[in-house]
Structure 1
């Protein structure tokens, strides 16, 4: 029997020791790397905004002479930073210390660097006294009601201003997009469709005229940006805005807007009436799920069942998307569409398009009961 010599045993033990050492070292380095990575992720997350999309604001009062530790605790308590410790260490690492006393309006949408900058410079996020939100498809009447409530103005004052022909003429002189078309006989509201749907912020003391001017500016920009294409279309801006407002009220998605605009172009090209229910409702001043025969007979120049072509004016506020869809409609073979009510798979509803009237009528017959059920389920 052969036995290993002593030098062989020593070499074997040395190899084992080296392997163990390498394994221990590798594990040690892995632990350090993992810890460093976790620490990096934690710190990175801590310096980022708590909620980048937040519109909430929080008032924070920083006393005179306090340090970063106190300020960090104050910000953490207000829900503006994730960790007061990280705030304190981060400010030390960046050698930031010249914080100014005062009352600040801060937001969870600010990063740690933005928070520090604000507290150093004394920059305050100003909370507007008036925040006016106008959704797409709002009518002048809805805008008036929202503005009266938000800005604490009498509805009568707003309505009177928006129907003041002398005031409207002054706006026509100021804005290239506005023409005498808005003052034509049969127009219900001269500025219908021209008050752009958006969120507006104003301070106390703002005048009604300033609010209206602010709401006209985005529409003026939309006109100027598309001026050449508007001229090439052979239609006036007013006509395109009127058609786009009908598209706005009929569609539920961006793609629907393009397709519905294409359907309307087909109807206009063939001398058909647009036959859009929202134009009927605008003319009667009533909104309903179903349009009655009496509604269809209403003698309003907005009624596209009674009168051919584009309505005399817009019937609602128009989004950029709806206007651009009207300028660039789909080249489609469809002439008809039918909207189904919102449901689980289509929370905004669904629009069905057809080439033939017969197929369109099949959709009407098949899905009309859905609207009856929807109306019943949503009764107040």
Structure 2
């Protein structure tokens, strides 16, 4: 019986333990859930930290990359005023660096990028430009348009006397005539045969003259152009073949320039000069233009009083060429002096100066008829 009772007690005891075990299981499950929640929170926190770190690295990386890829650039039109100069032969990179050094743009790369974007790398031209400090690269590029250059385009016409050239240069630059006269005595690159005299060697052409150029630099530009022409036509070599010096050829060219009614007549006028100098030793050159130069006068016909001048430029009084050029000849006159036309003419008269009509003859009697025609046309 005791055994049976014990068995019953045993049956009840396991039931009570089972109930307690379930409670422990629930508690265990709750602990595991809490631990899982903590694990998930920790994981989430770690992910947030990692994302934050990566985000920070990404931001700084982007900022660094942006600073490398996108150069510094100002915004707006800038302020103040600064004059910059693009040198002859300067590349776009050279110009960009110069603008950065002058404080016009924030960085050379910004300007190079602006040029590339606009496709204007070949549009930059030498000259001076008015700019502003602290400009955006795009604005700076706009102001470097060639039409904005601070240059005076001055055309020196063929046949001008040096005194007239000085006046035109003075007007174009605002510098006194005396400054140009003084500069002409300095080292301006004159060839040795010029004997230090600029008349005849200030080459007529169109020049871009900057306000920063000195009179000496401007005159040097003109002489440089003469020297280039002299080299191109082999002035000294061609003169020697003709039996003259280079200076004598320029004297002849200056007379051709002054006496011709048109470029087409120049080789004929040159031939008359050579014929008078070489074909008839007893004949004087007899050119009105040389007489007028010696008297510092202008006109196409010398008066009887003019012909009494004792100046060495009076070719009615003295044999041979005058002592120096009487004007500054251009390409056509120099070419004509080196390559005169074929002919036996000894005289010519520009019978109609307004229309530039010149007639040539080898007979003195015909010459006087042409003089009468000239007088009728110029009453």
TM-score category (smaller protein)? 0.5 to 0.7
> C-alpha distance in 1, partners of 2:215/2:326?
22
Partner of 1:358, secondary structure, is helix
Q: Is the 8 A contact 2:261 2:353 kept in 1?
A: no
Kindly indicate whether residue 372 of structure 2 is the aligned counterpart of residue 350 of structure 1: no
Q: Is the 8 A contact 2:183 2:219 kept in 1?
A: no
Partner of 2:195, secondary structure, is helix
5 Å-filtered alignment, 1:255-274, equals 255-269=264-278, 270-271=280-281, 272-274=283-285
Count of matched residue pairs: 246
Indicate the residue corresponding to 2:183 in structure 1: 161
Shift of 1:98: 4.2
Indicate the residue corresponding to 2:255 in structure 1: 246
Indicate the residue corresponding to 2:352 in structure 1: 341
Shift of 1:219: 1.0
Indicate the residue corresponding to 1:178 in structure 2: 192
> C-alpha distance in 2, partners of 1:228/1:105?
39
Q: Which has the higher Rg, Structure 1 or Structure 2?
A: 2
5 Å-filtered alignment, 1:124-163, equals 124-125=145-146, 126-162=148-184
Q: Which runs of 5+ in 1 are unaligned?
A: 1-62, 65-96, 107-117, 184-189, 373-380
Indicate the residue corresponding to 2:242 in structure 1: 233
Shift of 1:99: 4.2
Kindly indicate whether residue 365 of structure 2 is the aligned counterpart of residue 319 of structure 1: no
Runs (4+) of structure 1 moved beyond 6 Å? none
Q: Which runs of 5+ in 2 are unaligned?
A: 1-75, 78-115, 126-137
Q: Is the 8 A contact 1:158 1:208 kept in 2?
A: yes
Partner of 1:191, secondary structure, is coil
With over 3 angstroms needed to count, the CA separation of the structure-2 counterparts of 1:105 and 1:219, relative to structure 1, is closer
1:204 aligned to 184, 198, 211, which one?
Answer: 211
> C-alpha distance in 2, partners of 1:149/1:202?
12
Partner of 2:286, secondary structure, is coil
Shift of 1:128: 4.1
Tell me the TM-score normalised to structure 1 length. 0.59
Shift of 1:124: 2.2
Kindly indicate whether residue 222 of structure 2 is the aligned counterpart of residue 215 of structure 1: yes
Shift of 1:353: 0.6
Kindly indicate whether residue 310 of structure 2 is the aligned counterpart of residue 299 of structure 1: yes
With over 3 angstroms needed to count, the CA separation of the structure-2 counterparts of 1:330 and 1:146, relative to structure 1, is same
> C-alpha distance in 2, partners of 1:236/1:309?
14
> C-alpha distance in 2, partners of 1:100/1:219?
37
Indicate the residue corresponding to 1:59 in structure 2: none
Computed over aligned residues only, the root mean square deviation of the Cα atoms, in angstroms, reads 2.9
With over 3 angstroms needed to count, the CA separation of the structure-2 counterparts of 1:293 and 1:212, relative to structure 1, is same
Q: Is the 8 A contact 1:242 1:311 kept in 2?
A: yes
Q: Is the 8 A contact 2:203 2:329 kept in 1?
A: yes
> C-alpha distance in 2, partners of 1:231/1:292?
36
